[in-house]
């Protein structure tokens, strides 16, 4: 079988508070491709001088602004927000409820689910949590605190964005668990011709895409 969308556990690591431009970049990474592609940001890690609580609130507000304060993008027929059968949307909602933490976006947009003509759409969601969140099939991200020596996720990541630390950039570039590293911002484009399922000869070498800040 062929999966159009696949897991990537893509991550952003922030060693300081992001600028407004950097924040917009991160929000775009959460919202892009309806949150279903391997390069969508799912895990946002605050370390060093970055305050995770402040970051979660800023990111949740920006994600809500970009997706419409009254669910404009969710009820728009041209929206890129994924649609679900109502029972599937309920399963996703139940999965969210099992994640320990707080839905920070609820402070900016109370309505979590919109249903029309038998299609359910879920509000893009930012969670504040102590654990790395799982990937879900819509725009969902979790903000987590980590020490700088523990930012590399144990299950790896297709894409990593690093803000505010050259040392962390080098750490992630050298990690065999990370396939693509971007310094300072989420990339404007990702070349999907660069497979993350490996090549036939990939046992001979390891490649890492690196775009420094």
pLDDT the model gives residue 72: 43
**Number of domains the chain is built from:** 1
Minimal CA–CA distance to 39: which of 209, 164, 180? 180
Domain of 74, in residue numbers: 11-211
Residue 6 placed within a domain: no
Furthest-apart CA atoms within the chain: distance in Å: 52
Contact 35, 124 (CB under 8 A): yes
> What are 162's two structure tokens?
């690093």
Residue 144 placed within a domain: yes
Structure pTM?
A: 0.85
DSSP 176: T
Any idea what the CATH number is for the domain that residue 159 is in? 3.40.309.10
Euclidean distance between CA atoms 153 and 45, whole angstroms: 10
Q: For the chain, which ranges sit under pLDDT 50?
A: 1-5, 69-73, 75
Can you say whether the dihedral through the CA atoms of 4, 185, 213, 136 is positive or negative?
Answer: negative
pLDDT the model gives residue 191: 59
């Amino acid at each position: 079988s062929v999966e159009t969308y696949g897991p990537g556990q893509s991550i952003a690591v922030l060693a300081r508070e992001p600028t407004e431009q950097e924040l917009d970049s991160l929000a775009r990474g959460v919202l892009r491709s309806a949150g279903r592609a391997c390069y969508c940001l799912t895990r946002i890690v605050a370390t060093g001088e970055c305050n995770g609580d402040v970051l979660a609130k800023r990111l949740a507000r920006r994600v809500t602004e970009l997706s419409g304060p009254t669910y404009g993008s969710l009820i728009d027929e041209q929206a890129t927000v994924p649609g679900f059968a109502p029972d599937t949307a309920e399963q996703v909602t139940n999965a969210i409820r099992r994640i320990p933490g707080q839905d920070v976006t609820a402070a900016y947009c109370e309505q979590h689910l919109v249903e029309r003509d038998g299609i359910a759409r879920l509000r893009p969601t930012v969670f504040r949590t102590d654990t790395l969140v799982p990937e879900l099939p819509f725009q969902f991200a979790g903000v987590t605190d980590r020490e700088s020596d523990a930012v590399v996720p144990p299950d790896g990541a297709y894409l990593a964005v690093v803000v505010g630390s050259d040392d962390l950039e080098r750490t992630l570039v050298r990690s065999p668990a990370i396939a693509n590293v971007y310094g300072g911002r989420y990339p404007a484009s990702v070349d999907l011709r660069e497979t993350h399922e490996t090549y036939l000869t990939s046992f001979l070498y390891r490649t890492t895409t690196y775009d420094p800040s």
